[in-house]
Structure 1
Amino acid sequence: MLLIYTHKITPRFTYIMKQVFTRILGIEVSYTTKVEDFIKHTGPKITYTKQPLQNEFFVRSNDLLFEQGINDFEIVMGNWEGIPCFFATGEGSALPFDIFSASFYLITRYEEYLPYVKDSHGRFSPKESVGYKNKFLQIPVVDFWAFKLLDALKERFPDIEREKRTYNYLSVIDVTSSHCFAQRGFVRSIAGFLLDLGSFKLRRVGQRISVWLNPKKDPYDNFSTLIETHKQKNVKSMFFFQFATYSTYDKNVSTNNNKFRFLIKSVADYSIVSLCASYSSFDDIHLLKQEKKNLANVINRPVNYSRMRYNRVDVPETYRNLINAEFTDDYTMGYTHEIGFRAGTCTCFYFYDLHLELQQPIRIHPFAVHDYALVNAKKSDEIIRKLDALQHSIKKVQGEFITIFSNELLGGSSRIDWKDLYVQILNRYNS
């Protein structure tokens, strides 16, 4: 048991200490504000205050974990043996920066509570983030910091006990359009046909007619292949189906289509199936609950996991809505068009609401790769090089590598053979 002495125990303090020590490093911790308890403790211990008590392991604290509200901090970057860091501590501290305040800043998405210019879908741009601006977006710095802290603690306390974790890979499949041409209904099918014909997209016209004659040839209907591939390679996977009515940004097959419902049920027999919340439900809690309920009725089991359409996250409102709808886990934390770690970590964490100063009961699973971030690549080798670097970083800290691909991209046609590339990814990263 590691004992941490501090001058004030706050919700922010206990939240980040549990995340860094218990969830990332596997070390049990306890806290005290009493000097005599700290001195009596014979096991590993550290001080997190402004001044050390004696000659103990001391980390000089920033004010972030002991205040309330949102302040616009000036982020000045430093370097800790090759790893970017911020919130410098100065002399006397065992670490050159306040690892706990910096980790809290990134994991809580503190910067997304500050004023920023939203994109066309109301999202926080990766280019506005401290990670992108300072070129560490593709490094899970929170985990790197934690493991470097562990090394420093081991020098002082060689017998410190911890529960080791192992590297894990998870493949998430987004299903916002289960079929390209089939199961679309008469009106939508004819409208699509006329649009393709009027735009001289003769290849799509030919594909469309071919699928009408044999619906099993629909390019997006690759679910049996994906399931079989996951099964053969023992890949942990999740399928997020959109189950919403038609709208400008929600164009999946009708939820009343029995073949679509059967598809969802059949996938649920082999993999976890959960909800890709519609664009329309982003700020409509009643619609979000209805979509969740409707999908649960199809698969005859609870729907606990969520993803938001277009990775739309408005902190803290999005997570408040998901909690209200009784989701336990969310897989939206990442950027659509940039690979890397939006929250600076490859470890799941509970959402902390800065306005309420409260850890909320929903786990956030940060993903590192969304397929939209890869579509402009010219060659598969270029993509593999980028993903190799990500996996190398994640493996160093025994974290979780989550990729998100859509059945659309895997079934589409382009200069890159996405189906072949996806199999390469599974072979390389699922171990």
Structure 2
Amino acid sequence: MENFLIDDDVYGQVFVLGYNGSESVSYSQNGSSSMISTRSVLRRKPQPNGVIPSSKHYMVTDPTSSASLRDRRHFIAYVKSRTETLIQEYQNDPFSDMFQVGRSTDKPIDVTVKDTRCSDLDTDEVSADHQAAAADKDQHRDSTISRFACRLLVNRTLPYQPRVFAAGFDNHRNICLGEKAPKWATESGMDGLTTNGVLVFHPPAWGAIGEDAPGWLEVSVRGAMLSLRSSRSAKQRGQPLVSDSNVLRDGSLIDLCGVTLLYRTKEGLDQSPTSRELDDRLACLNADRPQCPVGMNTLVIPRQRTHMALKASDQPYIYMTCGHVQGRHGWGDQPNKLKKCPICFKDGSIVRMCMGMEAAFIVGQDSTPTHAFNPCGHMASLKTVDYWSRIPFPHQATAYKPSSPACPFCITLLDAKCPYVRVIFP
């Protein structure tokens, strides 16, 4: 699929980090399985469905008996106590479209997402028992993504200016902030935060981050920006930041506590390499027929790092200390031990190497894969690996530290001292 968009009705695209170009992935919920997309086009809807706060608000003892719920109006319920709930009604906005994101597959959700677990292991270097245990643990782990996690409102006319808000409206058009959720009064009405929060990262510009990367911020249900809480679900909100905005820009990241989304504008994608260009670049690399200096066999760089992608003898491996690429051969060591490179004799770990195939993650128009992320081995251009190695990710649900950069193609945590290496073919 080409990643530049020519349709004037397209606002931009949302990409899920961690799937390396796969357009869809399997998804299981409530005993049923389906396929969900890893990239979603935000397109102007036939009829505007955006909603904005109205001036109507009132107190009830039970939010399930409110007139708003009975009349099918959008509203946010701020639960103050067991007997007091403030209902803030929302009204239709004819000038905006609303796109909702969450773990649910229900109709109100436009973009369904699943947890992408961070990993720092190459499965080819891990025992089958270890893999099975990790997979079983992941399968039974509760998701930390809300069923109705966040919503985007986009102006239907230029400039589009997509804005992100915490929480989404459920099947009853309701957002309910429980008694323990952080909430506060503002001049324009009540505001609050969701349990695990919706975090936003705004780069200065796509591909441009200096030595000091900007920090993550939290967005409220009304779109206010705040500094991070002491922990992900702390009851005390962060400090309001009136100088920051919830307007998404090209390259903005949205973290939903279990999955991270990348927003790319139509104009930004027009300036990026296309998926076809990445395919052509990979074909050119393999057309050079790189040879393993040990086994003297031809290596084939795959699109995905899977067990069935290639024969074991054809799979290229990269040493993460020196960057030399070879085929797999016998070292006489146990798995997960350092291997000695037969070219430079440096000891280091090895990993199966493959191409980074999601074009939306590539920085700059030059897609030549000269470097590889450490320790996962995904290849990309120097600008790409350098850019992503400067973005710390808030990985944990209970705390923000330790946080570290991650490979966008697989969400593997990068090595703190050496996040990427230069690829050296034989």
Q: State the TM-score, normalizing by the size of structure 1.
A: 0.26
Structure in which a larger fraction of residues adopt helix: 1
